[in-house]
Amino acid sequence: MNASENFLAISSKMFGYYKGLADKAMATLNEEEIHWRANDTSNSIAIIVHHMSGNMLSRFTDFLTSDGEKEWRNRDAEFTDVYTSKEEMLAAWEKGWSCLLSTLEGLKPDDMMSIVYIRNEGHTVLEAITRQVAHYAYHSGQIVYLAKMIRDKDWQSLSIARGQSAAYNQEKFDQEKDRRFFTDGKTASS
């Protein structure tokens, strides 16, 4: 596997990892809780999903051939709570991720150094994907944090639980050295 193939494979896994964390966090919440905001200037999970979905659709529609900030996108409107149900929110969430992941699947290693634009700023495909991995990790972390605040004492850790680091490390060090992605075969923090 060359570096570009590796980058595409790892990017896909990273997107999937952060989507999975947010999926698990949102699964713990009910209709009312997805709209909860800490204060008037904070975003709810529903608002974060609205923004992420809009961003994904804009960035990854015609990824190689048009600017990632589409004329039809209304970014400011993404920061409003428009979903009437959790089901509607999750449908928008999946639509955004589907656009992103299908675009990623269609990329070839030779595309990595091609230039794409976001608001007329040129990025290599590699840079644009890296930018979006960081952006979606940031917002997925917000979703997880909000869900953790809402669930409070009922929260179930999505990573290595407190007090379990030594057991998790032992489990990893009991395995043979091998090249694998950090989430492959996860058990202690699954």
Each residue's pLDDT tens digit, 83-141: 999 999 999 999 999 999 999 999 999 999 999 999 999 999 999 999 999 999 999 99
In whole angstroms, what is the distance from residue 57 CA to residue 167 CA? Answer: 41
120 and 188 within one domain: no
Q: Which domain CATH number covers 65?
A: 1.20.120.450
173 and 154 within one domain: no
Residues above pLDDT 70, as percent of the chain: 97
In whole angstroms, what is the distance from residue 170 CA to residue 160 CA? Answer: 13
Each residue's pLDDT tens digit, 64-82: 999 999 999 999 999 999 9
Q: Which residue has the tokens 């007329």?
A: 120
Inter-residue contact 92 to 83 (CB < 8 Å) = yes
In whole angstroms, what is the distance from residue 99 CA to residue 102 CA? Answer: 5
**Domain around 168:** 160-190
Per the structure, the count of domains in the chain is: 2
